[in-house]
Structure 1
């Protein structure tokens, strides 16, 4: 009876703590939506707005183009199109509605980060990770931007939660659903596509049962393919060729091919494909191997993770007093990423953080690219804190 009462009290405390964390998350995001004056759309945000209106009025997807293309994957434009369709755009784009929906998705992301932390270790890890995610300034501010980050991170965290369950308690329907969510995430941002195999490489290393591993992976692959097929068919029918994800890859890769941005203003005009960029990078390594190696490792890493992506106008002082939270998560989170290599329960999350970073090192570096990796580092940091504070040995 005493044990049951303690368990009930613990569950009650966890539930109350989670509700408080989610309430804080919702309050802060709505504070930014309703109190911060948003600048006019520019850059990618403006291009998405134009693309969506063009899709709803002319019926085709074309990014920065008056004709169909596959320069970007369709996930985020279709998300925006749904909101534009519901709220209308004849009197202007319904950007406030987009921000409100994204804020809600951001709060739900906090919830799934809690669930992931709880699933890989315990409720303490889940609550710590959720609290950090609730107050991390970038996550709050980004909800107001007409960019892919918030929607992608939500879908990816749902996938990650399902993937954790699929590794621990695999069932056919969970595996297929995992593949579907992974496909939805890739349709928003395709960079993580190669990671689909990582959990199942680890599964085979753990159990050495090839048939078991292949069966589970194929079920995930079915879900992924089912999600991607409409995009593939559209590209074949409309563009007359199979484009798996998007065609923009070569452009950001080229931007990252100039060490420390030296010479970036003199981009060769004959480079128009990923193959051309790779040849250009190889020539650079042949000419100055140490210089290029430094750029493609610590050089880009310092730019991506060295500062928090938080370009809020300085007149708004919201959350600037916890700016150092980024440095804290970076230090402890990367410790957790490397510690995960010897701890199976968090190994694939740590590998995801490492591999996603390696993928980003291929492209032009910006601290915006850290956004989708930070939830993984937050979970890993919370895991390490739990180990250090609540366990006798690590």
Structure 2
């Protein structure tokens, strides 16, 4: 019997439990839980309801993810053409087609492929909403934010990026309020089923999950090590064997104690870990747990490092040379979905959805390197934000 100790196996088990027992559970046997958001188990259960609960249903889900990967390439082309040029958009698409972790992601039973597609749609609709300045587009944004939150709840605060975008666009206060209400109301309506289910099942209001303390606590764990020397002498109530266990408010208390002690006794180490170290963990390691020939994991590690380094160079180059008004929404969504992880555990799976956005800057650097004496292919489109570029 396969042990339910990996996320992919747990998702499959949860999906089958939904179909057979009508119960949403994760990390709790067959008892209801709110350990994770329900997006992935429900999506997988929907596919398995059509194609069966055996390997056929699982492979059907993998095919769905392949289609989402193809759709993501189309979306990144649209974004690249909008922000930069058709040529840079095409270079980005080639990079994505050749990027081995995308093939691994398609075959894994995890949230990353679906969530990345929603995030790209979110950026596309953001461009259109800024251009059209219509309430309906902001209502659609509320729907997409809710859809993203059903997979990863940290997407909920995405509307904060509009504060700067609206200021740059000189949006009126009336429009800001109307657009914010539209996003908020649609988001609330979409999340209501989850809130009602939790209220009925657990007799308390759970806005997202009851496991939020675990990512925060695990985020204090620096490369698999225990807290700094002397921590357990100062905090004898904690045990080295169980220090990183738990997911409720007690886990938050442990995490806060580790952070406080760490910054007092190893400030440079913890400062690095909670700034640059977080970015390194997100982006420098490929999401590539099952390598395929001929790209082994060590080879992919080197490729990933080079690609991320070149992406950073391209980002700086674009920051200096490219019109900021066209690039700002892209920078803000990339910045938001990077900074939101600062207090929590970070690793390659969490950085993977953002990498496709970084590839735009890698493509920009390649384009400028080979066509440095030529202007970008597309002329700026009329309009405050350069036009949607989305037809």
Distance 1:87 1:311, change over 3 A: same
Q: Which residue of 2 aligns with 1:292?
A: 270
Cα distance in structure 2, aligned partners of 1:346 and 1:81: 38
Contact between 2:104 and 2:291, CA under 8 Å: does it hold in 1? no
In the alignment, which of 342, 349, 358 is matched to residue 377 of structure 1? Answer: 358
Q: Which residue of 2 aligns with 1:235?
A: 198
Q: Which residue of 1 aligns with 2:94?
A: 131
Cα distance in structure 2, aligned partners of 1:363 and 1:88: 37
What secondary structure, in the 3-state scheme, does the structure 2 residue paired with 1:63 have?
Answer: coil
Contact between 2:212 and 2:248, CA under 8 Å: does it hold in 1? no
What secondary structure, in the 3-state scheme, does the structure 1 residue paired with 2:340 have?
Answer: helix
Q: Which has the higher mean CA deviation after the structures are superposed, 110-119 or 209-218?
A: 209-218
Cα distance in structure 2, aligned partners of 1:93 and 1:64: 25
Q: Which residue of 2 aligns with 1:247?
A: 210
State the aligned residue count: 354
Cα distance in structure 1, aligned partners of 2:63 and 2:49: 16
What secondary structure, in the 3-state scheme, does the structure 1 residue paired with 2:37 have?
Answer: coil
Cα distance in structure 2, aligned partners of 1:108 and 1:141: 16
In the alignment, which of 93, 96, 104 is matched to residue 67 of structure 2? Answer: 104
Contact between 1:350 and 1:380, CA under 8 Å: does it hold in 2? no
Shift of 1:208: 5.6
Higher RCO structure, 1 or 2 (CA under 8 Å, sep 6+): 2
- Is 1:218 the counterpart of 2:181? The answer is yes
Distance 1:277 1:202, change over 3 A: farther
In the alignment, which of 164, 175, 198 is matched to residue 201 of structure 1? Answer: 164
Length-normalised TM-score, structure 1: 0.80
Shift of 1:93: 6.7
Q: Which residue of 2 aligns with 1:366?
A: 347
Contact between 2:282 and 2:346, CA under 8 Å: does it hold in 1? yes
Q: Which residue of 2 aligns with 1:302?
A: 280
Superposed CA RMSD in Å reads 2.9
Q: Which has the higher mean CA deviation after the structures are superposed, 165-174 or 201-210?
A: 201-210
Cα distance in structure 1, aligned partners of 2:153 and 2:364: 28
In the alignment, which of 39, 44, 62 is matched to residue 7 of structure 2? Answer: 44
Shift of 1:84: 0.9
Contact between 1:250 and 1:277, CA under 8 Å: does it hold in 2? no
Distance 1:383 1:60, change over 3 A: same
Contact between 2:216 and 2:252, CA under 8 Å: does it hold in 1? no
Distance 1:266 1:258, change over 3 A: farther
- Larger proportion of helix: 1
What secondary structure, in the 3-state scheme, does the structure 1 residue paired with 2:268 have?
Answer: helix
Q: Which residue of 1 aligns with 2:31?
A: 67
Q: Which residue of 1 aligns with 2:248?
A: 272
In the TM superposition, what whole-angstrom CA distance separates every residue of 1:235-282 from its partner, at most 9, and x where no partner exists?
A: 222222222222222112211212332217634368732641452223
Length-normalised TM-score, structure 2: 0.81
Distance 1:101 1:386, change over 3 A: same
Cα distance in structure 2, aligned partners of 1:313 and 1:125: 28
Q: Which residue of 2 aligns with 1:32?
A: none
Q: Which has the higher mean CA deviation after the structures are superposed, 370-379 or 384-393?
A: 384-393
Extract unaligned runs of 5+ from structure 1: 1-38
In the alignment, which of 334, 357, 372 is matched to residue 353 of structure 1? Answer: 334
Contact between 1:305 and 1:330, CA under 8 Å: does it hold in 2? yes
